[in-house]
Amino acid sequence: MQVYHFLPEQAPQALPALEALPDAGFVWLDLSRDQAAGFEQQVERLTGARIDIQHIEDAMSASHVSFFDGTDDYDMVIFESLGPKDEPMLLETRSSALFVFDRLLVTVHAADAASFEAISRSCEAGGKRPPRSAVGLAYRILDAMIDRFLALRDAMARRVESLQDAMLHARAGGRADWRELMRARRSIRRLARLAEDQWETVEGWRRGGRLDWDEVMNVRLRDLLEHITRIRDLAAYLERDLDTALQLNFAVMSQRQNEIMKVFTVMAVVFMPLTLLTGVWGMNFEFMPELHWRYGYPLALALIVAVGVGMFLWFKRRRFF
């Protein structure tokens, strides 16, 4: 558990414990889930507000989707963000809950939530200008989460390009890793779903929050929405790009199969009259004049070769293959 006290124009101060809200500024109570059991009792002691039991269960859930809900005393924002690993095609996510009061921000998250670690380090270093309110700090945390998704854009685009190159190589005679392709497609679809949920959460908070947003916060929330929209559009673009490459690969494979079947068909047609000739001369009738002719065998072979070559050249001239 970490407690930070924010005062105007001053660096945040880490507090060893929190028995009551200070007279000035606001407080950030940061909890990992393994430390958060019974946190609602401390919040009630500090603010006099009781957290809804359903909100407590949602906050303690490690796999809750992005979601907004509010009461007369606080706003609750659950946000699904990236885990500690930045692997573009293996999206690991963590759900975090933010309870925004007038002078208190309570956050509940996974122990390895990277965005909260970064904000905590920033508070301890005191380099950035500190937020002026609890809602301003909540915005900064959400912004850090979304920035981590934005940072994956180039890596995901490069990965899709490498998969497309692998598919081109497969068309040239190599092998495509279909498991990797399907895994990438699922990750891109999941990114689109995550972005959609995040957009609805931020927009729901902007429209349904208990606070009357000033112009600065309205601009900041619209900026968050614009960033999420860029992530959503990127996911849609990458999915279309990957689907197009898949369709092109299937089309080329189908064309190759058609070419192979065309060659087999031509060869079968070429050998049909040859089979007929050999079948005729394979009959066991007694009176077959050419059987006793000295040049019958060479002539039969020449006729078979001539018919086969002739039909082959005719098909070639008609561009059957």
CA distances for 66 relative to 145, 160, 220, angstroms = 12, 26, 19
Q: What is the pLDDT of residues 274-316, one digit of tens each?
A: 888 787 777 776 777 777 777 777 878 888 888 888 888 887 7
Residue 99: what pLDDT? 94
Q: Residue 84 falls within a domain, yes or no?
A: yes
Q: Residue 56 falls within a domain, yes or no?
A: yes
d(CA 316, CA 310): 10
Sheet holding 75-82, edge to edge: 13-15, 2-6, 26-32, 104-109, 93-100, 75-82, 67-70
Q: Which of 131, 162, 180 is the last residue of a domain?
A: 131
Residue 171: what pLDDT? 54
Report the mean per-residue pLDDT for the chain.
Answer: 83
Our count of domains for the chain comes to 2
Max CA distance (Å), the chain: 125
Q: Residue 151 falls within a domain, yes or no?
A: no
Under DSSP, the state recorded for 142 is H
Q: Residue 73 falls within a domain, yes or no?
A: yes
Residue 76: what pLDDT? 94
Residue-number span of the structural domain to which 285 is assigned: 254-317
CATH number of the domain that residue 310 is part of: 1.20.58.340
Q: Residue 290 falls within a domain, yes or no?
A: yes
| pTM to 2 decimal places | 0.75
Q: Which of 131, 152, 171 is the last residue of a domain?
A: 131
Under DSSP, the state recorded for 291 is G
Q: Residue 246 falls within a domain, yes or no?
A: no
CA distances for 185 relative to 143, 189, 232, 244, angstroms = 26, 6, 14, 12
CATH number of the domain that residue 37 is part of: 3.30.460.20
Q: Residue 274 falls within a domain, yes or no?
A: yes
Q: Which of 102, 131, 160 is the last residue of a domain?
A: 131
Determine contact, residues 113/123, Cβ cutoff 8 Å.
no
Q: Residue 212 falls within a domain, yes or no?
A: no
